[in-house]
Amino acid sequence: MQLPKFLRLASQDMAIDLGTVNTVVCLRDSGIVLNEPSVVAIETIDGVRRVKAVGRDAKLMMGKTPASIQAIRPLRDGVIADIDVAEQMIKHFIDKAHGGRSRLPRRPEIVVCVPSGSTSVERRAIRDAASNAGASKVWLIEEPMAAAIGAGLPVLDPVGAMIVDIGGGTTEVAILSMRGLAYSTSVRVGGDKMDEAIINAVRRKHNLIIGEATAERIKMALGAALPPTGDAPTLTVRGRHLAAGMPKEITISQIEVAQSLFDAVAQIIGAVRTALENSAPELAADIVDSGIVMTGGGALLQRLDQALSKATGLPVIVAPDPLTCVALGAWRALEDPEYRAVLIEG
């Protein structure tokens, strides 16, 4: 049943895609209102810890803080690693999503995305963090389901659909049908592992140490699942030379970056092939027609769709807005009574 219009306007309910790298918040009647890094800067003075910055401001501090300040990412591999810091981060994002109002007319109902392979302990940590941050009720939704809803796949129908959601910490692969996951698997490979692979490759080949922020910039500019067929784009990067100990500038090519990402891409392709091999014949037949849909930040990796299509022989489509469709799908599940059955009560 739909809420009366005057109650809908007063509603503070929201969906949160609590990601390892970024947190995306979707608010009723406003759409995506927040998309910020999942980073918290903690300052310790005389043994007392306090939050100095959250989100974008905190990310700018990573690798550049004095001894008294520590930039923390409270989520690892899609689940909470530091519940106290995660709670502070969620509370900050809830307040910011509502325009900085710390006292809302009522405590909001919140749906939070969780990895399909997360344990009951990990899910309880997410529920507790969201509840302590100010939620009146916490719903959970598995990320592949939220991604599929956000991408517009027919998850309510007796039709097979396949989603590959590549986040910062994990890649979720699922075959969905009739409000449920017919098969799901996840690998702890995502944007973080790609950054790590680039850091290691630059260190081995150029004897240069670079930070996470530089590796991410290289990935976004030159990251590719397959080497270029023509002239390879290049990028100038700076770091500290391992032998000399001095700052140095080098130029790297897209060929080097594609080679460094080979193992990560191979693991993602392996997870997709495993899902296809374990799918029911009738669902597999539907996927031949509909293809594979990619979501998440990793879906933006150049030529990943080509590599996946070549490995499976199936059409591969990147969702229209891969970075936000998980949050949008989670919100639709909360908002639309037809999708309520996919929510997990917290």
- The three-state (H, E, C) secondary structure of 74-113, written as one string: CEECCEECCHHHHHHHHHHHHHHHCCCCCCCCCCCEEEEE
Is 104 a residue whose pLDDT tops 60?
Answer: no
- From residue 108, alpha-carbon distances to 1, 27, 80, 88, 93 in Å are 18, 10, 21, 16, 13
The answer to whether residues 96 and 139 touch, using CB atoms and an 8 Å cutoff, is no
Which helix (H) or strand (E) segment holds residue 339: the answer is none
CB 112 within 8 A of CB 139: yes
Residue type, position 86, single letter: A
Mean pLDDT of the chain: 91
Region 88-104: mean pLDDT is: 80
More confident position, 89 or 345: 89
Q: How far apart are CA 7 and CA 3, in angstroms?
A: 6
Nearest to 257 by CA among 231, 229, 232: 232
- Gyration radius (Cα) of the chain, Å: 21
Confidence band (pLDDT; 50, 70, 90) for 62?
confident
User: Is 167 assigned a ligand-binding role in the annotation?
Assistant: no
Task: Flag whether 169 is marked binding.
Answer: yes
Output the pLDDT for position 201: 97
Give me the mean pLDDT over the 209-227 stretch: 96
Is 170 flagged in the annotation as binding? yes
Q: Choose the weakest-confidence range: 9-23, 34-48, 112-126.
A: 9-23
Tell whether 219 is in a known binding site: yes
Amino acid identity of 62?
M
Q: According to the annotation, is 218 in a ligand binding site? A: yes
| pLDDT score of 11 | 54
What is the arithmetic mean of pLDDT over 306-317?
A: 97
Q: Residue 177: which residues within 8 A CB-CB, separation 6 or more? A: 155, 157, 158, 159, 160, 161, 283, 286
Q: What is the pLDDT of residue 100?
A: 67
Over residues 26-55, the pLDDT tens digits come to: 987 789 999 999 999 999 988 888 999 999
Domains delineated in the chain: 5-38+73-145+325-345 (3.30.420.40), 155-189+263-318 (3.30.420.40), 191-261 (3.90.640.10)
* pTM of the full structure: 0.90
Is 217 among the annotated ligand-binding positions?
yes
| pLDDT > 90? residue 12 | no
pLDDT of 261 over the 70 cut: yes
Q: What is the average per-residue pLDDT within 168-185?
A: 93
pLDDT band at 103 (very low <50, low <70, confident <90, very high): low
Beta bridge pairs of residue 293: 163, 317
Strands (E), 46-188: 48-54, 69-72, 75-76, 79-80, 109-114, 137-142, 161-166, 171-177, 180-187
State pLDDT tens for residues 265-303: 999 999 999 999 999 999 999 999 999 999 999 999 999
- DSSP conformation class of 59: H
Region of poorest pLDDT, from 138-147, 206-215, 225-234, 337-346: 337-346
Predicted local confidence at residue 6, as pLDDT: 36
